[in-house]
Structure 1
Amino acid sequence: MAAPTHTTVPASPAPVDNVPAYRTDLDGLRGIAIALVACFHIWFGRVSGGVDVFLALSGYFFVGSLLRHAIHSQATHVTFRDTIDPWPRLKRLLRRLLPALFTVLIAVAVLTVIVIPQTRWVSIGKELIASALYYQNWHLAFNSQDYLAASSANSPLQHIWSMSVQGQFFLVTLLVALAFAALVKLGARLIAPLADPRVIKVLVGGAVFAVAAVSFYWAHMRMGVNQQFNYFDTLSRLWEPLAGGLLAIWLPSWRVPRWIRTVAAVVALALIITCGWWIDGVDSYPGPWALVPVGSTLLIIWAGATALERPRAGATGPQALPPVNRMLASRWPVWLGTIAYSLYLWHWPLLIFYLTWREKDHASVLEGVGLLAVSIGLAWLTKRYIEDPLRRGGRGEPAHARRDGRARLMGYTSVVTSILVVGTLVTGTGIVLWDRHVSTMVVDTKNLDPRLYPGARALLNGAPVPAIDPQPSPLMVTQDFPETSTDGYMSNFEDPDIHVGVYGDPTATKTVALIGGSHAEMWISALNLLGQRNHFKVTTYLKMGCPMSTELVPKQNGVPYPQCHDWVMRVKKKVIEDKPDAVFTNSTRPRDYQPGDWVPPTYPPIFDEFLANDIAVLGIRDTPWPHNAKGLIDTPTCLADGGSATECATSRAAALAPEDPALALEATRPMFHALDMSDGVCDVDLCPAIVGNIVVYKDWHHLSATYVRSLTDELGRQMALALPWTGPPAP
């Protein structure tokens, strides 16, 4: 949601050479938009629509400027080289955008080391790189980040996605516009009318309209497919700046009564200010509902533009504007608009770092006022001492901007640029080194001394727990994957194939098929040991986020996941054809909006098909998904941030029903066997984050492979009660 950058020219009382007058009222509109963005982020946890205002304004200024270049370049005195040379405009863009951005990125890197737990350094480091290279929106899209209410778990760079969209829009539009101007200049040598400004407007307007229409259709269609991805998608967002561009190309010059312009501007501003409350932007933008802030922005631009073109008698400049536009052109909205870019950059990371430092998910009214004041102060300092000096010195700058002398300006510019470049290089190097350090860490806990690290045995058997640091460490446990993940037998979300792995005793005649999603996969670390001990084979049929269910359109993090249903149906058929002696899969899952767990009604039909084919079903009860009154718990991060085993724990009563819900299935299906490891993960009251000197969870809700291995004996005991050939387990 970056504020759009200036692409207009210095103020003049009336249009000169088709260059529009400087619109201070649009600076004020930026100010209103950035105030909405910051306030909605800090206090309301909603999308305000301010980003859509920024995108429409950016398109209006940028496309209008490029159109004037395309028309001007047809003049005989303009060389072909000047027509196609992107560097002058690109240089101005870089000088305008990068200094403030790099300043904030360096600050984020430093504060990350100071405030954020080490478990999050790698992910934030990757976002620093993505933000600096203007692909943060794609990074978030492919990682399915929710852009909802701020909390301490959010990335301090999540807001840079909109700057990436704008940067991509600026670059592609610039190159296309220059190529178009060059083609027209060449074509005019054969077809003279091509150089006519009216023809150029028609050609450019038609092309922009076509691309905008495709983008709008794409944005609307993708809402029902993958809205989380759609929200960040550049193609889905493209129609918003192009709508502003269309207004710049075909700005109506109708003679409209002043009162109509006034009413239109009042209604438009009211819609911009209020739409954040009555439109759920995260679920609705950039689909048709985004027409509200975008269309309102265009109305305000139009109301002011027509007033300046045909002012009242005796009215010039701002006095010719309708009342709303005059209000927007007043001192404080304009001042806020001049710092909008830097304010946008600063407010979100300050909010996230503060919430993380205070271990809170929401800022109070007083805290929000303080954060907003600090953000405004830093934005003004950034503009005054970094943005403005580095923007000066180009052709067309007023003489007073160079009154201190070019030498002094160049010296200042060199110092600031050097600080930014060196800081960025140091930051980037640190990110690369830390990423390499984490990526090369190997979790080797297969031979832990059970007397020092009893794990689940501390709960199940009362094993003593010596006072030593837990394993794996909170930083390393994030790499504690089950064997199937590291061996490549886990199909990812996009992979439709069935990858069958073989574990346990590959030569055995008895087989247990492990099937389902990641919450089935995590048990391979124990099943592999049990198969080796008791001489049965374990075959795996696994796909991320895909439990064995008949649900036609399952969802993953709220996003439709139709590939899962197709995969489940094919796996079910293949497992029946492969004819294992038993299948091992999840029988329950947590309830979404109330305490406890349950057997989803879409699970038993799958079980029944296996049972009908004389295949026993071992239904493993899902383990608790860590959470507390504040929300979900990322166990490694909670521990790395100084939390204890109990401070990062989950209430057993909130996570689990009093007894395994799958027992009802066992009572009516003789070959269905319910397995329940809950007593190995939770005591009577709590499900701790560390048990028996082993960290229980590797992330938000998956058991660490090390902890699963500590559950091997208990899992084997329960399996042997159901299927004697799987045990008895070794003591």
Structure 2
Amino acid sequence: MTVEAPSTPATQPVPDPPGSSGASGASSSALRTRAARGAVKPEIQALRAVAVLLVLAYHVAPKGLPGGYVGVDVFFVISGFLITAHIVKPLRRGTFTVGGFYARRAVRLLPASLLVLAVTLAGTWLFVPRSLWPQFGRQIAASALYVENWLLAGNATDYSAPAADVSPVQHFWSLSAEEQFYLAWPALLVVGSLVAARWHRWRRAYLAVLVPLALASLTWSVVATAGEPASAYFITTTRAWEFAAGGILWLVVHRAATLPDPARAAASWAGAGLIALSAFAFSSRTPFPGWAAAVPVLGAVLVLAAGLPRARWSPSGLMGWAPVQAVGDMSYSLYLWHWPLIVLLPYVVGAQLGLQGRVVAVLVAVPLAYLTRRFVEIPVLDAYRPTSGAFWRRKSTVGLAVAAGMVLVAVPAFAMNTTVRHEQVAAWDALDSVVASPPECFGAAAVDDTACTDGPADAVFPAPLIGDQDDFGRIHAGCQVGGDTVTATPCTFGAPDGTVKIALVGDSHAAQWQPALAAVAEQRGWQLTTYLRSGCPVTAAPPQDRSAACRAWEKDVIDTVADADFDYVFTSALSATRYGGGDGGVAGFVDAWTRMAGSGARVVALRDNPDPTQAGVESTPACVEDRSAAACGTPQDVSLLPDPQVTAVERTPGAALVDLTGYFCQDGTCPAVIGDVLVYHQDQHVTMTYMKTLAPMLSAAIDEAVGPVSAS
């Protein structure tokens, strides 16, 4: 999973955080001077620096810091803390206006974000294959309108969402959540001010509004995370309590200032420890946000509450260190720039970014962040004075400028999406037409027919623009499950009353065989039942990088198939999958197959296809679109990985192997296009169109592997 953290204003004064009276070490005088100038308190800037560095480290090396995404939670707490102050203070003075608040937020946040979006839009147009324009354009438009989080939440229910949602602006989900927080927070605090007018105890009045909200949001976060974790991660309602935690802290933080310095120093270190613990202990398998988010949230609260204690062993000196403060100052721009660079640079250089490449991308983001801070954020903030009568400083002018900027980004992004969508419709019509009446040398048939030419095709089917959509999991939604599904979900194809009953089980690399196997079943009058789950091969091997839901689903499939009356069980799995146990997963397949064959079924393993990504071709449709079919083929000795199923077949009594590698690779090369048909989509998956052309070859290979098939 990929996450980001928004940053909040770095130049506006904040309300009396605790411990602002001093710091340890030689930096104490500088810190007090900084605070006296009205800058954001050093401990807040230090906390921002920690949060943004967590996010950057997570994106550069997610395996090294698997929970670095908690930086977003730290930022949310800071935002709630600061924005509550920016609203409550003028409310108590009687000077708060909704228009003024939104104008200041817009002036602070939008110039830099719209600049990054505009540059990203231009980079997409210049370097990204057109097949990805709808995906990128849709998300750029959603980010410009600050609804990216809800777009991602809606897509998260699709099994392919993690791949489909990767874009250079995916990190704007958290900025969207923050902007939505800005919409609701003034109204809630105005209600608090009305209560305060009656109670005459203003802190308690605001707490009476914020505490129930926080509890309700936390409850919803726990419930939603348990039910729909993929979408719960992004939606504002599951995150509101984190903002509220910061707001509640501001209302009660004055009490922390009365604590002795040793206690505050201990609290500060404890808060830092909780943040570090969650960054290293959490991972993509941690149900999040839910209860788990309370760990980094509590850590951020403790650091803010502790302020800058004077104890010599406190972290105050480290917080005030100039590099830490510098990172905190430009954390917002650094956050904005780093992810577009990580995503777009591979298209610019024509190669996947490894660890070193991602480090370079972040290093490039640093000067861009500095320049954006220096020449965009600060000048715009300095130029805007709400009390000035100049028309360009009026709230109405700010509103028009904001609307114009959002439109100037969103409209071209929508146009990019719409234009290619129309072309995709035409590509589908062309594909349907050729599939309805295929030529003799179409797809895999070209391998067997020596009369077929090997020259480059005038047209490729499916066209690269729709290559990633030519996918069983998309077209038969619900038959390839994902998320938290733990039960075997059957789909039936072929002859409903067929006397020969076969099953297809496994991950997406098993699912991709469905078009060919279904065609065989229809031709022979078999009944085909599928049990398929993305990223989840059916094996009893010790799990590695597999969720608890995946393991539960695997067990249920094995038990279901073992108790059913299948004649044959077909299975396949991604060869690159990592298994525990030290034998590459062989024993796990043998165990699972033996159990599934317990009712008399015979297991037939389908050898996995080549993996173009092993040879550096991350997207075959994009490669064919940008270069040529001939340039996108890969060496067989690189892209065809050893398949543990081959060895497992040798060790499993009665199991058989179907190996159609000859229809993917010839003469040491695995082409991207065979017989005018695009072979791969989404990394290393085989298109439905090419799989359908393999049906006659699969039918013959089944007979060769197991003999004439008859009902048991």
Pairwise TM-score range, normalised by the shorter structure: 0.7 to 0.9
What is the root-mean-square deviation of aligned Cα atoms in Å? Answer: 5.1
State the match for 1:210 in structure 2: 215
> Given the alignment of the two structures, is residue 378 of structure 1 paired with residue 372 of structure 2, yes or no?
yes
Structure 1 residues 649 and 346: alpha-carbon distance in aligned structure 2, compared to 1, 3 A threshold:
same
- Deviation for aligned residue 1:140: 4.0
Matched position secondary structure for 2:504: strand
State the match for 2:74 in structure 1: 53
1:350 to 329, 341, 353: 341
Structure 1 residues 6 and 215: alpha-carbon distance in aligned structure 2, compared to 1, 3 A threshold:
farther
Query: 1:94-151 CA distances to partner (integer Å, 9 max, x unpaired)?
Result: 4543443333222222211212122322222232233234343354456569xxxx99
Identity over aligned pairs, percent: 20
- Deviation for aligned residue 1:341: 2.5
Matched position secondary structure for 1:476: helix
Query: 1:649-696 CA distances to partner (integer Å, 9 max, x unpaired)?
Result: 364575134983354367x33xx5432222322347454433344321
1:162 to 171, 174, 177: 174
State the match for 2:620 in structure 1: 635
* Partner Cα distance (2:280, 2:249) in 1: 26
1:357-506 equivalence runs, <5 A: 357-358=348-349, 359-361=351-353, 362-363=355-356, 368-384=362-378, 389=383, 392-394=384-386, 397=387, 402=388, 406-407=390-391, 409=393, 418-438=404-424, 441-442=427-428, 443-444=431-432, 445-446=434-435, 452-455=441-444, 457-458=446-447, 464-469=453-458, 470-482=460-472, 486=475, 490=479, 492-493=481-482, 500-503=491-494, 506=495
Q: Does the Cα contact within 8 Å between 1:265 and 1:325 map onto a contact in 2? A: no
Letter in 2 for 1:406: A
* Partner Cα distance (2:321, 2:54) in 1: 20
Structure 1 residues 665 and 249: alpha-carbon distance in aligned structure 2, compared to 1, 3 A threshold:
same
Structure 1 residues 228 and 624: alpha-carbon distance in aligned structure 2, compared to 1, 3 A threshold:
farther
Q: Does the Cα contact within 8 Å between 1:536 and 1:726 map onto a contact in 2? A: no
Query: 1:154-177 CA distances to partner (integer Å, 9 max, x unpaired)?
Result: 521122222133233333444443
State the match for 2:113 in structure 1: 101
> Given the alignment of the two structures, is residue 2 of structure 1 paired with residue 6 of structure 2, yes or no?
yes
Letter in 2 for 1:705: M
Matched position secondary structure for 2:683: coil
Q: Does the Cα contact within 8 Å between 1:548 and 1:606 map onto a contact in 2? A: no
> Given the alignment of the two structures, is residue 116 of structure 1 paired with residue 132 of structure 2, yes or no?
no
1:32-431 equivalence runs, <5 A: 32-33=49-50, 36=53, 40=57, 44=61, 46=65, 47=68, 50-68=71-89, 89-140=101-152, 143=155, 154-182=166-194, 188=198, 194-197=199-202, 199-200=204-205, 203-204=208-209, 206-207=211-212, 210-211=215-216, 214=219, 232=234, 234=236, 237-253=239-255, 260=262, 263-264=265-266, 267=269, 278=280, 294-295=297-298, 297-304=300-307, 337-358=328-349, 359-361=351-353, 362-363=355-356, 368-384=362-378, 389=383, 392-394=384-386, 397=387, 402=388, 406-407=390-391, 409=393, 418-431=404-417
* Partner Cα distance (1:322, 1:546) in 2: 48
> Given the alignment of the two structures, is residue 523 of structure 1 paired with residue 513 of structure 2, yes or no?
yes
Matched position secondary structure for 1:607: helix
Structure 1 residues 215 and 62: alpha-carbon distance in aligned structure 2, compared to 1, 3 A threshold:
farther
Q: Does the Cα contact within 8 Å between 2:611 and 2:683 map onto a contact in 1? A: yes
Q: Does the Cα contact within 8 Å between 2:265 and 2:314 map onto a contact in 1? A: no
Structure 1 residues 54 and 680: alpha-carbon distance in aligned structure 2, compared to 1, 3 A threshold:
same
Structure 1 residues 600 and 625: alpha-carbon distance in aligned structure 2, compared to 1, 3 A threshold:
farther
* Partner Cα distance (2:41, 2:196) in 1: 33
Structure 1 residues 641 and 274: alpha-carbon distance in aligned structure 2, compared to 1, 3 A threshold:
farther
Structure 1 residues 195 and 416: alpha-carbon distance in aligned structure 2, compared to 1, 3 A threshold:
closer
1:587-606 equivalence runs, <5 A: 589-590=574-575, 592-593=577-578, 598=586, 600-601=589-590, 603-605=592-594
Q: What are structure 1's unaligned runs of at least 5 residues? A: 189-193, 308-319
Letter in 1 for 2:167: S
Q: Does the Cα contact within 8 Å between 2:13 and 2:40 map onto a contact in 1? A: no
- Deviation for aligned residue 1:454: 4.9
Q: Does the Cα contact within 8 Å between 1:549 and 1:565 map onto a contact in 2? A: yes
* Partner Cα distance (1:366, 1:527) in 2: 46
1:649 to 634, 638, 656: 634
- Deviation for aligned residue 1:511: 3.9
- Deviation for aligned residue 1:620: 2.9
Q: Does the Cα contact within 8 Å between 1:228 and 1:559 map onto a contact in 2? A: no
2:689 to 700, 706, 715: 706
- Deviation for aligned residue 1:586: 0.8
* Partner Cα distance (2:259, 2:489) in 1: 68
- Deviation for aligned residue 1:230: 6.2
* Partner Cα distance (1:33, 1:489) in 2: 41
- Deviation for aligned residue 1:3: 0.3
* Partner Cα distance (2:69, 2:692) in 1: 48
> Given the alignment of the two structures, is residue 694 of structure 1 paired with residue 666 of structure 2, yes or no?
no
- Greater CA drift, 330-339 or 166-175: 330-339
The count of corresponding residues between Structure 1 and Structure 2 is 663
* Partner Cα distance (1:216, 1:507) in 2: 43
Matched position secondary structure for 1:682: coil
Q: TM-score, normalised by structure 1?
A: 0.73
- Deviation for aligned residue 1:406: 0.4
Query: 1:482-522 CA distances to partner (integer Å, 9 max, x unpaired)?
Result: 5x96466836447879665443xx59865453433544443
State the match for 1:316 in structure 2: none
* Partner Cα distance (1:684, 1:155) in 2: 37
User: Rg: which structure is higher?
Assistant: 1
Letter in 1 for 2:242: E
Matched position secondary structure for 1:251: helix
Letter in 2 for 1:59: G
Q: Does the Cα contact within 8 Å between 1:41 and 1:348 map onto a contact in 2? A: no
1:510-589 equivalence runs, <5 A: 510-517=499-506, 518-531=508-521, 535-545=524-534, 549=538, 558=547, 560-561=549-550, 564=553, 568=557, 572=561, 576=565, 582-586=567-571, 589=574
Matched position secondary structure for 1:134: coil
Matched position secondary structure for 1:513: strand
Q: Does the Cα contact within 8 Å between 2:539 and 2:592 map onto a contact in 1? A: yes
Query: 1:424-456 CA distances to partner (integer Å, 9 max, x unpaired)?
Result: 323223323333543564133425755554536
Matched position secondary structure for 2:646: coil
Q: Does the Cα contact within 8 Å between 2:13 and 2:38 map onto a contact in 1? A: yes
Q: TM-score, normalised by structure 2?
A: 0.75
* Partner Cα distance (1:182, 1:229) in 2: 35
Q: Does the Cα contact within 8 Å between 1:652 and 1:682 map onto a contact in 2? A: no
Structure 1 residues 665 and 196: alpha-carbon distance in aligned structure 2, compared to 1, 3 A threshold:
same
* Partner Cα distance (1:180, 1:338) in 2: 32
Letter in 1 for 2:201: D
Matched position secondary structure for 1:585: strand
Matched position secondary structure for 1:661: helix
